[in-house]
């Protein structure tokens, strides 16, 4: 199969799994990308998949309107291939003949030769007539759109707009291995310009994305990819040198690695309830050169009787499971998969995690509650309710550089300061 055709075949398979079978974009791409040896083909596959998911709210109604009969339940692969075709013509503006030929050929390669003519006709019509104008709010399910508009009336249009655009590439320089300015010079030698940000001591920002393989010293752990908002966790928690730290929800390990890069003398226990995610934690810590400093364990943080040794922690990072509504620009499939019913369960799980981990904190210790959500139920309201039922907890204010004041914490909205949406609240236990 010609490589251009294989990219379209894989794009259709990834999109079919994500759109019609509830699979995550990240895991589907992780499985599909290694099948393409050429990095340019891998970049194209990613670009098509992201653009198709971001534009689906415009492409799908137009396609359905142009079809003579509605596609049946077994037509998932056809619809997915058509979405991939629309993304190439519209968002990616690929030369029409190449995009059309390869996508029509992909219909044959997908075992649908009888639909190659239909794919050709529909994509030619898309090319001629185009799609309705973009309305980034239209990509969000109405229940989420309404909650965000109610919580952030002035900022909601900017939230929707930022969530429809790819973010910059934020790097975290491993200060245990190289000074940031020295790494910036290495990037420059490789032809990559990077900016610093006054809020972030270890960060460099590249406005044009590059594959990690193009980053000097990536494999040796000189640098990792981590959004600026996520890098602020280390500043907000700021454990004392050599402190005993619990990272209660650690996978894939980005924040644990950052804490240890800053202070290899920390005594850090990284927990995650999902054992399948622990190899990623270990890989990330190993690449950063800090794996032997950490203890990594599969365990449920809400059930300390099963794993806790009885010694309290000086500092706890609770980077809780959440709706991920602050990172839609990096994971557009969140808008497909999130259900209103999930939210109540997440809010309950977060409350249980707060109560259970609070009991493990020493008097005078700090717990940092963090989410990549922008919904008050998971953030300001969650922390207010915790403070109301926990007499020995008080909030310690975070500075403005963490975003808008939101109850006892701070909220950055997606795209603000070029970063992901994130919430942080710093909680201190009475002595």
Ligand X SMILES: C[S@@+](CC[C@H](N)C(=O)[O-])C[C@H]1O[C@@H](n2cnc3c(N)ncnc32)[C@H](O)[C@@H]1O
Q: Which residues line the annotated binding site for S-adenosyl-L-methionine?
A: 249-255, 272, 300, 319
- Which CB sits closer to ligand X, 228 or 253? 253
Q: Distance between CA atoms of 9 and 105, rounded to whole angstroms?
A: 9
Please identify, among the stretches 21-29, 63-71, 199-207, 296-304, the one whose residues bind ligand X according to the rule CB under 6 A. 296-304
Least CB distance to ligand X at residue 39 (A)? 25
The answer to whether residue 297 forms part of the interface with ligand X (CB under 6 A) is: no
Q: 261 or 319: whose CB is closer to ligand X?
A: 319
Q: Report residue 20 as tokens.
A: 């019609």
Question: Of the two residues 268 and 398, which places its CB atom closer to ligand X in the complex?
Answer: 268
302 near ligand X (CB under 6 A): yes
Phi, psi for 101 (deg, rounded to 5): -60, -50
For every residue of 347-380, DSSP letters joined together read HHHHHHHHHHHHTTEEEEEEEEEEES---GGGTH
Question: Residue for token digits 């032809």?
Answer: 191
Is 286 an interacting residue with respect to ligand X (CB under 6 A)?
no
Single out the residue of 249, 260, 294, 360 in contact with ligand X (rule: CB under 6 A).
249
Q: Is 340 exposed, middle or buried (CB count within 10 Å of its CB: 0-12, 13-18, 19+)?
A: exposed
Q: Would you say 163 or 232 has its CB closer to ligand X?
A: 232
Stretch that binds ligand X, among 56-64, 203-211, 298-306, 394-402 (CB under 6 A): 298-306
* Six-digit token string for 188: 């420059």
What binding mask, one character per residue, do residues 251-270 give for ligand X by CB under 6 A, x or -? Answer: xxxxx---------------
The C-alpha atoms of residue 96 and residue 108 are separated, in whole angstroms, by 19
Least gap, CB of 66 to ligand X (angstroms): 40
* Contact partners, residue 289, CB within 8 Å, separation at least 6: 174, 176, 177, 221
State which residue, 109 or 370, has the beta carbon closest to ligand X.
370
372 is catalytic: yes
Our CB check for ligand X shows the closer of 60 and 300 to be: 300
Question: According to CB under 6 A, which one of 10, 259, 271, 327 is a site residue for ligand X?
Answer: 271
> Which of the residues 178 through 237 are near ligand X (CB under 6 A)?
230
Q: Which of 372, 375, 398, 406 is catalytic?
A: 372
Question: According to CB under 6 A, which one of 197, 300, 381, 401 is a site residue for ligand X?
Answer: 300
Pick out the residues of the known binding site.
249-255, 272, 300, 319
Q: Binder to ligand X among 182, 188, 274, 292 (CB under 6 A)? A: 274
Question: What minimum distance in Å lies between the beta carbon of 350 and ligand X?
Answer: 9
CA nearest to 172, candidates 191, 192, 196, 188: 196
Q: Which stretch binds ligand X (CB under 6 A): 97-105, 106-114, 214-222, 245-253?
A: 245-253
Q: Both tokens of residue 274?
A: 């999902």
Residue 430 burial class via C-beta count within 10 angstroms: exposed 0-12, middle 13-18, buried 19 and up:
exposed
Structure-token pair, residue 283? 């890989």
Sign of the Cα pseudo-torsion (247, 250, 253, 255, in order): negative
**Footprint (CB under 6 A) of ligand X, residues 389-408:** none
* Closest separation in Å from C-beta 162 to ligand X: 20
Check residue 288 and report its DSSP letter. T
Question: Phi then psi for 406, rounded to 5 degrees?
Answer: -145, 95
Q: What angle do CA 406, 411, 414 make, to 5 degrees?
A: 145
> To the nearest whole angstrom, how small is the minimum distance from the Cβ of residue 383 to ligand X?
16
For residue 93, the SS3 value is coil
| Rg (alpha carbons) of the chain, rounded to whole number | 23
Task: Tell me if 250 contacts ligand X by CB under 6 A.
Answer: yes
Of these, 119, 301, 328, 425, which contacts ligand X (CB under 6 A)?
Answer: 301
By CB under 6 A, residue 321 contacts ligand X = yes
Q: Which of 236, 235, 181, 220 is nearest to 204 (CA)?
A: 181
The verdict on 277 binding ligand X (CB under 6 A) reads yes
Only one residue has tokens 């924040």, namely: 255
d(CA 41, CA 208): 18
Does the footprint of ligand X cover residue 420 (CB under 6 A)?
no
CB of 326 to ligand X, least distance (A): 11
Measured CA angle at 173 (ends 178, 241), to 5 deg: 80
The site for ligand X, by CB under 6 A, has a size of 20
Q: How far is the CB of 257 from ligand X (least distance, A)?
A: 8
Smallest distance, ligand X to C-beta of residue 399, A: 21
Question: Based on CB atoms, which residue is closest to ligand X, 151 or 356?
Answer: 356
Strand segments, DSSP code E, in 233-342 are: 244-247, 267-272, 294-298, 313-319
> Which active-site residues does the annotation give?
372
Residue ranges that bind ligand X, judged by CB under 6 A = 230, 248-255, 271-274, 277, 300-302, 319, 321, 353
């Amino acid at each position: 199969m010609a490589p251009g055709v294989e990219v379209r075949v894989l794009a259709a398979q990834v999109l079919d799994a994500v759109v019609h079978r509830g699979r995550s974009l990240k895991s589907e791409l992780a499985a599909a990308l290694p099948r393409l040896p050429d990095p340019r083909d891998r970049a194209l596959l990613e670009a098509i998949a992201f653009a198709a998911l971001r534009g689906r709210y415009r492409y799908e109604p137009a396609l359905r309107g142009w079809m003579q009969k509605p596609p049946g339940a077994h037509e998932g692969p056809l619809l997915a291939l058509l979405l991939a075709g629309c993304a190439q013509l519209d968002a990616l503006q690929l030369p029409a003949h190449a995009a059309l030929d390869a996508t029509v050929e992909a219909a044959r390669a997908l075992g649908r030769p009888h639909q190659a003519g239909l794919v050709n006709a529909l994509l030619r019509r898309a090319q001629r007539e185009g799609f309705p104008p973009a309305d980034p709010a239209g990509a969000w399910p109405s229940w989420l759109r309404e909650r965000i508009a109610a919580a952030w009336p002035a900022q909601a249009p900017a939230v929707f707009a930022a969530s429809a655009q790819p973010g910059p590439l934020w790097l975290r320089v491993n200060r245990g291995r190289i000074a940031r300015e020295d790494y910036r010079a290495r990037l420059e030698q490789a032809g990559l310009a990077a900016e610093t940000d006054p809020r972030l001591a270890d960060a460099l920002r590249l406005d044009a994305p590059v594959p990690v393989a193009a980053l000097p010293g990536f494999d040796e752990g000189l640098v990792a990819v981590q959004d600026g908002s996520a890098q602020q966790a280390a500043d907000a928690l700021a454990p004392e040198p050599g402190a005993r730290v619990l990272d209660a929800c650690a996978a894939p390990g980005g924040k644990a690695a950052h804490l240890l890069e800053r202070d290899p003398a920390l005594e850090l226990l990284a927990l995650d309830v999902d054992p399948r995610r622990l190899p990623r934690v270990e890989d990330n810590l190993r690449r950063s050169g800090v794996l032997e400093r950490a203890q990594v364990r599969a365990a449920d943080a809400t059930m300390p009787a099963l794993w806790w040794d009885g010694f309290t922690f000086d500092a706890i990072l609770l980077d809780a499971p959440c709706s991920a509504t602050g990172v839609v620009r990096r994971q557009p499939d969140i808008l497909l998969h999130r259900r209103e019913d999930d939210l109540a369960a997440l809010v309950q799980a977060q409350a249980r995690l707060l109560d259970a981990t609070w009991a493990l904190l020493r008097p005078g210790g700090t717990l940092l509650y963090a989410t990549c959500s922008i919904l008050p139920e998971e953030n300001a309201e969650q922390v207010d309710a915790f403070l109301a039922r926990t007499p020995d907890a008080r909030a310690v204010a975070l500075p403005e550089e963490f975003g808008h004041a939101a109850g006892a914490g701070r909220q950055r909205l997606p795209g603000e300061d070029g970063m992901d949406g994130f919430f942080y609240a710093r909680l201190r236990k009475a002595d």
